[in-house]
Amino acid sequence: MLHTNEKLPRATRPRRGKHRKKTAFRVIPLLLFVLTLTFLSIPAAVQPSSAGRVDSGMRQQYLALVSSQRQPLKKLEALSTAPKSGKPVRFEMDYKPLPTPTPTPAPTPTPAPPAPSTDGSSTFTAGAPVKVFHGPRGQGRVAITFDDGYHSSAITKILDVLGAKNVHTTFFPTGQALGQNRALWQRAVAEGHEIGNHTMTHPRLDKLDAAGIRNELQGMENQLQKALGGSAPALRFMRPPYGCGGFQESETILSVSGQMNYSGVIMWSVDPNDCKIKTAPARLQHILERVKDGDIILLHTIDMDAEILSSLIDQLRAKGLEPGGIDWLFS
């Protein structure tokens, strides 16, 4: 039995180096064989392909095209790898092309309203009103008309001048004004002046429907009956406040007026330019420079128009023009 600290002779020791070399020579070929089989078994799909790099560029070009057209990409199906055939990857694209713009048709122009009756030759028939701006030419006549009917002092002065000059004219008061100055309107009718309808509250009739227009005209008629009682005349004429619905056609105003048995929608051809002319002399001059045979003159029951009335009548007569009311102008 050998002791552990004893060494074997060199000849009897295991030959470890040679054994290791033999083992390595056997294992290395085996490993090479396994690696070869593994490499050959890898599918072609995982091998890099130049086609993949080309198709990546195609994808970028397509995306740039879609972006420039501002159309949403509905479907983009792409092969992530090159097929085994080696052909380049194809992208299947489905996108909506830009629609061909449809030209916007030119708007149809709105036809101009028919021209109002201004020949002055109208005859008035109850229930079939006509709109007039002036009377007949060549008769040496003009009409003086007064709107609104407020300011009792002005109305008194106007009635005094008309009486002194022996002139009968036409007033278009509102229903509200009739309720304030009943005694003066009784005097006006008694002295032979004509009354027309200027609505109850002086609204813009072109902003009202048929029922609203009827209520305004009927309201004024009711106030006239209260102010004059049995002496209230049957109204033949109406004048729209501000001229709204008169200077521009309003079939509704004519229709309602006809249903209420009116004969005429009375406008005017000469006005004193109330908004700009603020002095009596300038007002009188403005009218006289423009008035001519057959005209309808618009005034208001205010102190300034009452102040110029006497001179206006005198100078109209000096021009060969006799003033009067609407009914007289067309008679």
**199 within domain boundaries:** yes
CB-based contact 149:309 (threshold 8 Å): no
List, in sequence order, every residue forming a beta bridge with 195; answer none if it has no partner: 171
What is the domain extent for residue 279? 130-329
pTM of the model: 0.65
**Looking at this protein, which amino acid is placed at residue 209?**
D
What residues are annotated to the active site?
147, 300
3-state secondary structure (DSSP) of residue 113: coil
Helices (H), 42-119: 50-69
Asked if residue 251 and residue 208 are part of one domain, the reply reads yes
pLDDT at position 42: 54
**55 within domain boundaries:** no
pLDDT at position 58: 57
Contacts of 221 (CB under 8 A, 6+ apart): 175, 197, 235
Q: How many whole angstroms separate alpha carbon 205 and alpha carbon 296? A: 21
Asked if residue 230 and residue 87 are part of one domain, the reply reads no
pLDDT tens, position by position, 115-166: 445 455 567 898 899 999 999 999 999 999 999 999 999 999 999 999 999 9
**137 within domain boundaries:** yes
Asked if residue 188 and residue 71 are part of one domain, the reply reads no
**47 within domain boundaries:** no
pLDDT at position 51: 43
93 burial level (CB within 10 Å; 0-12, 13-18, 19+):
middle
CB-based contact 277:124 (threshold 8 Å): no
pLDDT at position 134: 96
Whole-number percent of the chain with pLDDT over 70: 64
Asked if residue 226 and residue 173 are part of one domain, the reply reads yes
Asked if residue 143 and residue 90 are part of one domain, the reply reads no
All residue ranges of the chain with pLDDT < 70 are: 1-27, 29, 34-122, 249
CATH of the domain at 321: 3.20.20.370
Sign of CA dihedral 287, 290, 294, 297: negative
